[in-house]
Amino acid sequence: MKYISTRNTNPKNADCKSSAEVIIKGIADDGGLFVPTEIPKIDNDFITSLCKMDYPHRAAEILKLYLTDFSYDELLKACTESYASEKFGTEPASVKKVGDNNILELWHGPTKAFKDMALQLLPRLLSLSLGKTGIKEDALILVATSGDTGKAALEGYADIDRVKIIVFYPNDGVSNMQKRQMVTQKGNNICVVAINGNFDDAQSGVKKIFSDRAISDELLNKGIFLSSANSINWGRLAPQIVYYFSAYCDLVNNKTIKMGDVIDVTVPTGNFGNILAAYIAGQMGLPTGTLVCATNNNKILADYFSNGSYDKRRNFYTTVSPSMDILISSNLERLLCLTYGTEFCKNNMSFFCENSYFETDKNKNPLIFEKFAGISCNEDQTKETIAKYFSDYSYLLDPHTAVAIYCADLYKKENKSTNKMLVVSTASPYKFPYAVAESLGVENCKDEFECLEMLEKKSGIKIPEAISGLKTENIRFRETISSNDMAKRVLEFSFK
């Protein structure tokens, strides 16, 4: 399996990279993202065989189709370690029936957000890739985070040999609990920095550093190369394809559906990585109907799928679902490329770079508009959904999952689809205690830890150790910088 850049309209042999190379590089030299040159196809017999397996085996079976530099045994070992019960409890990706939704809980990992599903595995794949390519330099992982990627990447890469990691987060754009998780992280190879600005500032700062030849040359001279743990790295996306197959199997196994039945899927969306993995699973042959792209007030994607216009000339809102506070969703580029080709993708991306918007004619290019439905959910609707699901089903939603549930329910009501609905749940409600407590009318907690305890009392659902333990952890990182100084900070840290 080879990979090319989404912006390379005339790839030469040397531009076609192997899986180990794309995991190491993260982003292509021309600023595009790596995509597989073809999507492997599977049939129902393949899915039937997956359904008899546990999660690590399901993961190895899917990943071996994409990560062909790795042997099946290497992949199985990496998956078995990554999804071990000490890290995820007994089920890394369990499906719960709540009302007429099937909720795929992906947040039982060490940092209590779905980012762990990929970021427990990616460091292992990177270490293997370093060995396979014979690269002599050490890796510096550069991360921009809207809250959850930062912690999950720190947890995955802390104290890993030949790797350093630096995380940039928007100072006012993450929840207190998310911030606390990052600034208390242990490990000798890490650095956590707040920037004045929002997630898009952090992400474009990081992308700029990646495409700056002077910086990469300076680093290479000192024996360091840059790599990415964001979902611009294919090594983040591939592991996310797995849980859509796994959830489908669980629905077959618990007789919610029969093999071959089509399911709809709703995904709370920010950088468009998670829902793109669902799309790719569908392209491979997983029977999926509509993919509902659920957004909060930052509804640029919902608007795009409704009217074909992707327009970032609009206000940016900070919301109770901060991990989705994004206007430039990187992985949309991969969707355009995989569906309409590199030429189409490159033209639109250059137009977008210059004009801050691009438009797709829905009649001429109907494919993605037939597959995706864009729906948004505002702040009140998010909180009302949390309250409703707690009072109706005693089920506690985090704000991101609440956005998805609201959009899924609205989609079903308006479209009368008879398909079963899978809704992806991306974080533990205890990562966002203020917003969840407020939604449930739990008032006047003096800090987030008191909120947690009051929520636990009300719901009877235990606070994860990884969250309650933060109260007594030392704060190690207090620095805030301007987004203009990110490159300087990266150099300082890497030479320390």
Ligand X SMILES: *Cc1c(COP(=O)(O)O)cnc(C)c1O
Which positions lie near ligand X, rule CB under 6 A?
113, 115, 148, 231, 268-274, 323-324, 400, 426-427
- Report long-range pairs for 471-476 (Cβ below 8 Å, ≥24 apart): 473/180, 473/184, 474/184, 475/180, 475/183, 475/184, 476/183, 476/184, 476/185, 476/186, 476/192
Structure tokens at 246: 């796994």
Nearer to ligand X, 270 or 433 (CB): 270
Compute the distance between CA of residue 117 and CA of residue 243 in angstroms, rounded to an integer. Answer: 9
Nearer to ligand X, 189 or 271 (CB): 271
Query: What residues form DSSP beta bridges with 373?
Result: 292
Nearer to ligand X, 115 or 180 (CB): 115
Nearest distance, CB of residue 250 and ligand X, angstroms: 21
Buried b (16+ CB within 10 A) or exposed e, 175-186: bbbbbbbbbbbe
Nearest distance, CB of residue 403 and ligand X, angstroms: 8
Compute the distance between CA of residue 173 and CA of residue 194 in angstroms, rounded to an integer. Answer: 10
Catalytic one of 17, 25, 115, 207: 115
Nearer to ligand X, 257 or 270 (CB): 270
Structure tokens at 297: 């007030």
Nearest distance, CB of residue 113 and ligand X, angstroms: 4
Nearest distance, CB of residue 136 and ligand X, angstroms: 33
Nearer to ligand X, 148 or 250 (CB): 148
Nearest distance, CB of residue 63 and ligand X, angstroms: 18
Nearest distance, CB of residue 32 and ligand X, angstroms: 18
Residues 6+ away with beta carbon under 8 Å from 315: none
Nearer to ligand X, 109 or 273 (CB): 273
Task: Kindly list the distances between the CA atom of residue 32 and the CA atoms of 126, 179, 332, 347, in Å, as whole numbers in the listed order.
Answer: 20, 30, 11, 12
Q: Are 79 and 59 in contact (CB under 8 A)?
A: yes
As a dihedral over the C-alpha atoms of residue 268, residue 274, residue 279, residue 280, rounded to 10 degrees, the angle is: -170
Nearest distance, CB of residue 274 and ligand X, angstroms: 4
Compute the distance between CA of residue 446 and CA of residue 436 in angstroms, rounded to an integer. Answer: 15
R_g over Cα of the chain: 21
Nearer to ligand X, 205 or 494 (CB): 205
Structure tokens at 135: 């690269």
Structure tokens at 91: 């089920």
For the chain, the first-to-last Cα distance in angstroms comes to 38
Strands annotated E in 261-381? 263-268, 288-295, 309-311, 357-359, 372-376
Nearest distance, CB of residue 242 and ligand X, angstroms: 14
Nearer to ligand X, 299 or 400 (CB): 400
Compute the distance between CA of residue 334 and CA of residue 267 in angstroms, rounded to an integer. Answer: 17
Total residue count of the chain as it appears in this document: 496
Task: Kindly list the distances between the CA atom of residue 103 and the CA atoms of 100, 248, 404, 482, in Å, as whole numbers in the listed order.
Answer: 10, 12, 10, 40
Task: Kindly list the distances between the CA atom of residue 114 and the CA atoms of 148, 176, 425, in Å, as whole numbers in the listed order.
Answer: 8, 18, 8
Nearer to ligand X, 70 or 406 (CB): 406
Q: In what order do the strands lie in the sheet with 420-425?
A: 94-98, 101-105, 420-425, 263-268, 288-295, 372-376
Task: Kindly list the distances between the CA atom of residue 488 and the CA atoms of 168, 197, 219, in Å, as whole numbers in the listed order.
Answer: 13, 17, 12
Nearest distance, CB of residue 303 and ligand X, angstroms: 16
Neighbouring C-alpha atoms within 13 Å toward the C-beta of 441: 5
- Catalytic residue check, 416: no
Which are the catalytic amino acids?
Answer: 115
